[in-house]
Structure 1
Amino acid sequence: MITSILPLARIELLMHQTPMELFANGGIIMWPILIVSFLGVTVALERSLFIWREASSREPEVVEKMLEHVESADVESAIALGKKSKDYIARILTYALTHREQSLANAFMRASNQELQRFQQGAAVLDTVITAAPMLGLLGTVTGMMRTFGEMQGDLAAAMGGITGGVAEALIATAAGLFIAILALMPFNILNSRSEQAKHEISDALNALELILKKNETHSA
């Protein structure tokens, strides 16, 4: 076994190295891992800000008031109220009611898709980070072990530093890739969860609007 001939003191030093030292000892594969991690952190921060901004701009009371206006056949007041709101449900209802003469269902669907696309932005990048980071770590493992076996072709005593360096490169790259993937997994799941919640909220608004319109049609018949 390779580990049986490695100086334990040298391996233990990995546990006490600074992040910069670990990065340097992780080999060239640490650079693409760094780029992937930068993308993941950037998207995670931007999406966190987006979720917070959308949550703070929710105005369910405005949505309820709009539906009340529609129920009382005062659609123009509902549209006017919706135009003043930053709530994404209110925006969808406003667009749908504005284009109700052409096709309310199609207008609602178009506005819903546009809003859902905003919630789903960045998910593909985070998904790529989750997939690519451990793959890059695995590639670092391969290159590190190739370096280790290359050093073992000569005098083992003289090449001991190169052998431990290769093993360290493999371990660091693998750990870095897994660490980045795990960190990216959390905002990815949160983003997906918020997107699903938005779908349910939009569906609920559509059902409420359809019930009100059918009720109005029944009363006017």
Structure 2
Amino acid sequence: MKDWMNLVDAVQLGGWVIYPLSLLAIVAIAIVVDRSYVFARFARRPGANLSAPVTADASPGAIVEAFDSLPAEHVFRRLSEPLERQPSVPFWYREAKTEVIASAIERDMSRGFWVLETIVTAAPLLGLLGTIVGMMHSFQLFGASGLVNPGGVTGGVAQSLVATAVGLVVALFSLFAFNYFSRRLERLMDELEAFANERLSGVRLASETGGDTP
């Protein structure tokens, strides 16, 4: 309890800069929670029972049936729509539609990334601003005749150090989160590309062998 009270006192020393830094921290945490849920629910890799239909010899409609157990907004289910074999749909349209859906998926899954990237830059700058304000307050306590209030000087220095520390903590948290989700999105897009290429190759092969008329 004492340690918690010391933490609260230290935050109070940071001055007004702590308030925007706290807001940035709350926004960063909200984005991390939201993206964690989205990636866990809508971007998980299909299990072994769903990987079987993803072959060149899949029957018409098998792709949609295989992904019925996934949420409607699941990325693999969204991408499977133009990959279902339909004799009336030409191959070039399926290929173009797949690229459009893949771009939309990447945009949807990266929602909020720019905010995390902005916080990575803004939080240290706000902390630096708090440092400057605290040091200015400390130097103002020096009079023409020398040091006037030693306690006030040390309080201003403490304020500047707390603001800097909080800014760095918020920036580091946002940086790690941004890098983690960026890497996860990159792996997801690689998986989607491999999935789409495999299905499009199967459709092309069936078309060339007369099994499907694009």
Q: 1:133 aligns with which of 106, 123, 132?
A: 123
Once the two structures are TM-superposed, the CA of residue 52 in structure 1 deviates from its matched residue by 2.5
Deviations 1:58-95 (A, max 9, x none): 32435533333xx3363233333334433522321124
Match of 2:25 in 1: 37
Greater RCO (CA < 8 Å, at least 6 residues apart): 2
Q: Is 2:63 the counterpart of 1:78?
A: yes
Give me the TM-score of the superposition, normalised by structure 2. 0.83
What 5-or-longer segments of structure 2 have no aligned partner?
Answer: none
Shift of the 217–26 alpha-carbon distance from structure 1 to 2, 3 Å rule, reads: same
What 5-or-longer segments of structure 1 have no aligned partner?
Answer: 1-14
Match of 1:8 in 2: none
Percent identity among equivalent residues?
A: 24
Shift of the 63–107 alpha-carbon distance from structure 1 to 2, 3 Å rule, reads: farther
Shift of the 67–91 alpha-carbon distance from structure 1 to 2, 3 Å rule, reads: same
Match of 1:92 in 2: 79
**SS of match in other structure, 2:45:** coil
Correspondences of 1:171-190 after superposition (within 5 Å): 171-190=161-180
Q: Which structure has greater helix proportion?
A: 1
Once the two structures are TM-superposed, the CA of residue 157 in structure 1 deviates from its matched residue by 4.5
Q: Distance in 2 between matches of 1:167 and 1:212?
A: 68
Once the two structures are TM-superposed, the CA of residue 54 in structure 1 deviates from its matched residue by 3.6
Q: Is 2:154 the counterpart of 1:164?
A: yes
Shift of the 63–90 alpha-carbon distance from structure 1 to 2, 3 Å rule, reads: farther
Q: Is 2:89 the counterpart of 1:101?
A: yes
Q: Distance in 1 between matches of 2:24 and 2:109?
A: 22
Q: Distance in 1 between matches of 2:39 and 2:141?
A: 51
Give me the TM-score of the superposition, normalised by structure 1. 0.81
Q: Is 2:186 the counterpart of 1:196?
A: yes
**SS of match in other structure, 1:75:** coil
What do you get for the CA RMSD once the two structures are aligned?
A: 2.6
Match of 2:111 in 1: 121
Shift of the 219–30 alpha-carbon distance from structure 1 to 2, 3 Å rule, reads: same
**SS of match in other structure, 2:108:** helix
Deviates more, 1:120-129 or 1:90-99: 90-99
Once the two structures are TM-superposed, the CA of residue 153 in structure 1 deviates from its matched residue by 2.6
Q: Is 2:53 the counterpart of 1:66?
A: yes
Match of 2:6 in 1: 18
Match of 1:6 in 2: none
**SS of match in other structure, 1:121:** coil
Count of residue correspondences = 204
User: Residue type matched to 2:38 in 1?
Assistant: F
